[in-house]
């Protein structure tokens, strides 16, 4: 079977929220009132740092689908002023964030031990806080979030092939910027990272065979497997990957913006920026060409994200290895598309109702792991008021 991206159909319930007249849906979704409703109706667990785990009601998978966000909606009312990247979080927030990520991923590995049967992934996504709220493709909640999902392989195998030109697969064409025009210097720059647990691996080796994705992204194998997720040094290296990406992104788009090759303020790897990026003729040529395109084409210019946004993914490949990869996030597409999975959500209340008891049961099992870690408190939502599923 030739590798190809897949489009899967995921049933969802009917939305019960009423959006006030005159508001775009995404504007309402980012309001404090809606985020309060999200926590009350689908919240699972909250920590003192306001890290909120909740059920993705309009989600990607009915096997397992949950998110953790840094919920600052009560403290910061301006949606454009909320933290949207891990480097904007406090040290304590990052510590608990990493702990919740490890516990959630450990649960998925234990519940679904066979990579031939289930694809499991945890994806951290950030947004550009300057992106207009009503811009098509902007995620419904403008906060840093970590998304945990499981897909049965039998469902992916039976799904139809996705359109390879789907904007979510190509990030509206932005993938080509990094994968075709800057791939060599991008990989060379990230090779400067001093990593011991994360070992570089080509996507031709770590890609999911069914889909052939990820394609060309810098990737690393977690040497030592799941046990290393308990090692604090793994999380240090995981953050180094992000910091390297941020330096690359800021340097490139600063050059596009000003035409002036310079090391960004507060760069994490200033010497490597000078030696690898700014000394690269190709890096400067691509930036110059893009700058000219921005000047000439207002539609293209409107699609540029000048501030760094990213998707950092931890997934299990076909051989059972844990793989880390990172990509820019230009159109707010789902992290599943990095693995070649396009999700089409279809309102189907009966299909969702049939799957809901088992889905909620697994979410509550994962939540119990967090409760046992004594890092926060459970939330009694209407569908699980006493820790057990209650049909609504």
Helix (H, G, I), strand (E, B) or coil at 262: coil
Residue 260 has pLDDT above 70, yes or no: yes
Q: Do residues 330 and 127 make contact, with C-beta atoms less than 8 angstroms apart? A: no
Residue 302 has pLDDT above 90, yes or no: no
pLDDT of residue 135: 57
Q: Is residue 280 assigned to a domain?
A: no
pLDDT of residue 215: 85
- What are 104-151's pLDDT values in tens digits? 999 999 999 999 999 999 999 886 555 655 555 455 566 788 999 999
Q: What is the mean pLDDT of residues 312-332?
A: 88
Alpha carbons within 13 A on the beta-carbon side of 358: 9
Q: Is residue 244 assigned to a domain?
A: no
Residue 180 has pLDDT above 80, yes or no: no
Which residues span the domain enclosing 31? 6-176+196-218+306-378
Residue 220 has pLDDT above 60, yes or no: yes
Q: What is the mean pLDDT of residues 275-282?
A: 95
% of the chain beyond a pLDDT of 70: 90
Q: Is residue 223 assigned to a domain?
A: no
pLDDT of residue 354: 96
Kind plus residue range of the DSSP H or E element containing 364: helix 349-372
Kind plus residue range of the DSSP H or E element containing 315: strand 310-316
Look at the chain and report how many structural domains it folds into. 1
Q: Is residue 232 assigned to a domain?
A: no
Q: Is residue 365 assigned to a domain?
A: yes
Q: Is residue 278 assigned to a domain?
A: no
pLDDT of residue 299: 81
Q: Is the pTM of this model over 0.85?
A: yes
Q: Is residue 183 assigned to a domain?
A: no
Does 215 or 177 have the greater pLDDT score? Answer: 215
Does 15 or 133 have the greater pLDDT score? Answer: 15
How far apart CA 138 and CA 284 sit, in angstroms, is: 29
Distances (CA, A) of 320 to 114, 152, 267: 8, 15, 35
Q: Is residue 89 assigned to a domain?
A: yes
pLDDT category of residue 96 using cuts at 50, 70 and 90: very high
pLDDT of residue 165: 79
Q: Do residues 123 and 335 make contact, with C-beta atoms less than 8 angstroms apart? A: yes
Residue 317 has pLDDT above 90, yes or no: yes
């Amino acid at each position: 079977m030739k590798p190809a991206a897949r489009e899967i159909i995921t049933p969802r319930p009917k939305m019960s929220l009423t959006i006030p007249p005159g508001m775009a849906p995404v504007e309402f979704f980012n309001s404090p009132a809606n985020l309060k409703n999200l926590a009350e109706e689908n919240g699972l667990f909250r920590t003192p740092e306001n890290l909120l785990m909740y059920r993705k009601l309009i989600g990607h998978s009915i096997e397992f689908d949950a998110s953790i966000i840094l919920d600052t909606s009560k403290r910061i009312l301006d949606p454009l002023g909320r933290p949207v990247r891990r480097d904007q979080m406090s040290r304590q927030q990052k510590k608990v964030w990493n702990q919740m990520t490890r516990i959630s991923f450990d649960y998925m590995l234990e519940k679904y031990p066979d990579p031939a049967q289930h694809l499991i992934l945890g994806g951290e996504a950030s947004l550009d806080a300057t992106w207009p709220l009503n811009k098509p493709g902007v995620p419904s909640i403008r906060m840093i979030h970590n998304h945990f999902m499981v897909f049965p392989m039998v469902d992916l195998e039976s799904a139809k092939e996705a359109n390879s030109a789907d904007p979510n697969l190509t990030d509206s064409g932005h993938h080509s910027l990094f994968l075709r025009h800057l791939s060599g210097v991008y990989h060379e720059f990230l090779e400067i990272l001093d990593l011991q647990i994360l070992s570089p691996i080509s996507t031709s080796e770590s890609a999911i065979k069914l889909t052939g994705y990820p394609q060309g992204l810098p990737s690393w194998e977690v040497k030592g497997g799941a046990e290393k997720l308990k090692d604090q040094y793994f999380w240090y290296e995981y953050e180094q990957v992000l910091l390297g990406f941020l330096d690359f992104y800021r340097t490139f788009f600063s050059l596009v913006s000003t035409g002036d090759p310079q090391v960004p303020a507060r760069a994490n790897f200033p010497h490597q920026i000078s030696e690898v990026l700014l000394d690269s003729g190709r890096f400067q040529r691509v930036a110059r060409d893009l700058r000219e395109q921005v000047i000439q084409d207002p539609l293209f210019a409107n699609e540029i994200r000048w501030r760094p946004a990213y998707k950092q993914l931890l997934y299990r490949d076909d051989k059972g290895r844990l793989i880390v990869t990172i990509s820019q996030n230009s159109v707010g597409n789902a992290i599943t598309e990095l693995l070649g999975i396009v999700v089409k959500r279809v309102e189907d209340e009966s299909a969702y109702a049939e799957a809901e008891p088992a889905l909620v049961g697994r979410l509550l099992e994962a939540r119990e792991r967090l409760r046992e870690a004594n890092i926060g408190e459970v939330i009694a939502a209407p569908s699980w008021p006493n820790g057990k599923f209650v049909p609504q």
